[in-house]
Structure 1
Amino acid sequence: MPDEPTLGEVARRLEDVRTDLRDDIREVGSRIDGMVSVEAMGYELRARDETIRRLTERVTEIEQARAEEARRHDADLRTAEDRRRADKRLLVTALLAPVLLLLLQVYVFSKGAGA
């Protein structure tokens, strides 16, 4: 029976296995301690989703405000454009019409309409 280990050798091997097992369990425990719990992860995900929802709402509000501002600006431009057209018509009627009437009177008097 020379191939069989002695009781002392079996005890040493058993002690080595026990020590390795204890070290492995400690390592697994330290890894587990470093992990986030499912509950904490759920809280974190809900907080992130809430933040994203609030940011999305804020962006939507800003886009709507800019669109409204652009509509008001376009309306102001149209109003200003309408005012410019009215001013041009006023200039034509206020300046050009009297000049044309004066030229017509000069022409009529030069032809001697009264004679």
Structure 2
Amino acid sequence: MTDEPTLGEVVRRFEDRLTDVRDDIQQLGRRLDEKVDQKVYDLRHETLSTRVAALETVREKDAEKVAATRRWLIGAVIIPLVAVLMPVIILLIQGAST
């Protein structure tokens, strides 16, 4: 008989379990409130995919501009500079050898 709980102890244990269940239900409610709807998730994912595609396009255009700038630099600056300096260097080498 001593192993059996008293009626007051049974009520306390029951109230503790009821409080635990209420807390669990409140936590589930909070988690459900924080959950993102699938449609919203899909829209965000689609928007991000569009933005990434746009950024990749811009990056490719920038890479083309850099390549065009390099070609311009070589064609408009370096080659004429070499063309002007080569005769001067050749004349200096020939003049130093005479």
Classify the TM-score, shorter chain.
0.5 to 0.7
In structure 2, the residue matched to 1:33 is: 33
The two structures have a TM-score, normalised by structure 2, of: 0.63
In structure 1, the residue matched to 2:14 is: 14
- RMSD over aligned CA atoms reads 2.7
| Offset at residue 66 of structure 1 (A) | 1.8
Larger radius of gyration: 1
In structure 2, the residue matched to 1:57 is: 57
In structure 2, the residue matched to 1:24 is: 24
Summarize the alignment of residues 63-82 of structure 1 with structure 2, pairs less than 5 Å apart: 63-77=63-77, 78=79, 80-81=80-81
| Offset at residue 40 of structure 1 (A) | 2.6
The two structures have a TM-score, normalised by structure 1, of: 0.56
- Which 5+ residue runs of structure 2 have no aligned equivalent? 88-98
- More displaced 10-residue stretch of structure 1: 4-13 or 68-77: 4-13
Query: Across the two proteins, how many residue pairs are aligned to each other?
Result: 85
In structure 1, the residue matched to 2:4 is: 4
In structure 2, the residue matched to 1:45 is: 45
The one-letter code matched in structure 2 to 1:76 is: A
The one-letter code matched in structure 1 to 2:76 is: D
The one-letter code matched in structure 1 to 2:12 is: R
CA distance in 1 between counterparts of 2:16 and 2:81 reads 94
